[in-house]
Amino acid sequence: MKSTRLLVLVFALFASLSAFAQSGNPADAKKAYIHKLQLADRVRVDVYQEDELTRLARIDARGMINLPLIGEIAIGGLTVVEAQEIIQRAYREGRFLRNPQVTVSVEEYAPREVSIQGQIRSPGRYTLPIESTFTVVELVTKAGGITDIGRGSAVTVTRVMPDGTKQVFTVDVDSVIKGRKNSGKIDDNTLLLLPGDIVYVPERLI
């Protein structure tokens, strides 16, 4: 009886820890990385039991790849799962295949870089890790930290959106590093960097 009760408690504890890790709270667990296919990614498209339809293709500047039977199809900006679904739908709705089962995999990732400028000890361009997230705080740390005259409470991230417009985020790096609650404008601890982002550390006003 005691062993049964102990087993139940172990399972309950395991379930609690799993929920805690998957809660999405950045203070508890890092966000799961979900890659979105982008320009110059080289992908492999397989169709189950249809070997002649297998293709290796690089995503062009329009976000397109060219596939047998269906021709050009846009997958840029989609996740692998979303790309699989849209390709399956194209084969099915075009009446080429009754029940296509498509697998999309990334064979070669395009260069994923961000830059950091201003009052940082090692300014320059940095490569984002493949299949992993990277925050502003992690980039600041990798670049040697903020200089003595840098204003870590107002680090900006400039991001060019798909429509060409720019979006600017302000991150209080100092508060994150010191464990204080952020200003509430954005979640300073979980702003994940995207390729092409420009991070700037301004000078502190004296």
Tell me the torsion sign for CA atoms 154, 140, 126, 37: negative
Tell me the torsion sign for CA atoms 189, 123, 117, 161: negative
* Residue indicated by tokens 């992993």: 132
Give pLDDT, residue 151. Answer: 95
Of 205, 198, 204, whose CA–CA distance to 117 is shortest? 198
Give pLDDT, residue 35. Answer: 85
Pick left, alpha or beta for residue 63 (phi over 0 → left; psi -120 to 50 → alpha; otherwise beta).
Answer: left
Give pLDDT, residue 31. Answer: 56
Give pLDDT, residue 165. Answer: 86
* Three-state DSSP class for residue 116: strand
Give pLDDT, residue 129. Answer: 86
Give pLDDT, residue 191. Answer: 79
**Which residues, given as ranges, of the chain have pLDDT below 50?**
1-30, 182-185
What are the counts of helices (DSSP H) followed by strands (DSSP E) for the chain? 4, 10
* Three-state DSSP class for residue 93: helix
Give pLDDT, residue 39. Answer: 86
Is the overall model pTM greater than 0.75, yes or no?
no
Give pLDDT, residue 83. Answer: 97
Exposure of 123 by Cβ count < 10 A (0-12 exposed, 13-18 middle, 19+ buried)?
Answer: middle
Give pLDDT, residue 111. Answer: 86
Give pLDDT, residue 9. Answer: 36
